[in-house]
Structure 1
């Protein structure tokens, strides 16, 4: 099997164990949580996306990793991580918290989708070895990030019960 085919198999199969794990252990807990706490948990995971800057560190990635892919992936992750941290810092500021929650999820999901597009555009499967130590990021980390973006969007759009709205209003007012 060629490295390109192996990389593509890894990309697709990276979602399977995360979906199984997420569906069994994480999703039931997130759905049962208070809205703010659920979004805080997701923001905490995404606050580590500053790590994506590693895509532009020489010696960690190969010299032939397409710059168009590496730079966009690095800075998209970095921006998402900063927005997630801002959400965590503003959790007691109500509207500002929700603004940052929406922002990090929109920026983060767009970053991943565009990174997939760039990966295809720049022939990343054939150059997968150039990912070097970062090879594990798109295979192991990105599927969990994308799944949690979908979960965050679902939770944002899910109607809130009246009692939960009143409680959330009281928490934000204090």
Structure 2
């Protein structure tokens, strides 16, 4: 089987495996949590996005990994990670925390989508071996990151427990 097919298959299976795991274990727990605590858990995961800087470390990746992919992916991950850390540091200031949660999720999701675009445009599946030790990032880590960005936006858009409970009570009285 050609390496580019293996890479693409592993990427798809990474999404399938994480979606199954997320649906069974993580999503029920996150939905049952207070929105703030759920967002804090997601921010904690994304605070490790500094790991994407591995794409620009010689010796970790091959010398022929396209710079147009590596640098953009590395710095996009780094920016997302810094925003997630800032969100965690601002946890006691809820409006600032919420703004930083929106920021790291927007920056992070845009980063991943653009990384996919750059990867396709630059033929990354054919050069997947150039990812070297960082090969696991797009296969194992990126699917979980994308899924948690989507979950974070769903949590941001859902009504707060208190408001939902107040509306349910008002509906029972009316």
Contact 2:49 2:78 in 1 (8 A): yes
Taking structure 1 as the reference length, the TM-score comes to 0.93
Matched, 1:31 2:31: yes
Q: What SS does the aligned partner of 1:92 have?
A: coil
Distance, in Å, in 2 between the alignment partners of 1:67 and 1:165 is 51
**Post-superposition offset of 1:75:** 0.1
Alignment partner, residue 47 of structure 1: 47
Question: Which residues in structure 2 correspond to 1:43-82 (within 5 Å)?
Answer: 43-82=43-82
Question: Which residues in structure 2 correspond to 1:135-154 (within 5 Å)?
Answer: 135-154=135-154
List alignment gaps of at least 5 residues for structure 1.
167-174
**Post-superposition offset of 1:165:** 9.5
Q: What SS does the aligned partner of 1:14 have?
A: helix
Matched, 1:2 2:2: yes
Contact 2:14 2:143 in 1 (8 A): yes
Contact 2:34 2:161 in 1 (8 A): no
Q: 1:165 to 1:96 in 2, by over 3 A?
A: farther
Distance, in Å, in 1 between the alignment partners of 2:58 and 2:141 is 21
List alignment gaps of at least 5 residues for structure 2.
167-174
RMSD: 1.4
Residue by residue over 1:97-151, the C-alpha shift from the partner in whole angstroms, topping out at 9 and shown as x without a partner, is 0010000000000010000000000000100000000000000000000000000
Taking structure 2 as the reference length, the TM-score comes to 0.93
Alignment partner, residue 91 of structure 2: 91
User: Which portions of structure 1, spanning 4 or more consecutive aligned residues, are displaced by more than 4 angstroms?
Assistant: 163-166
Matched residues, number: 166
Q: What SS does the aligned partner of 1:63 have?
A: coil
**Post-superposition offset of 1:53:** 0.4
**Post-superposition offset of 1:161:** 3.5
Q: What SS does the aligned partner of 1:38 have?
A: helix
Structure number with larger C-alpha Rg:
2
Distance, in Å, in 2 between the alignment partners of 1:60 and 1:165 is 51
**Post-superposition offset of 1:160:** 1.9
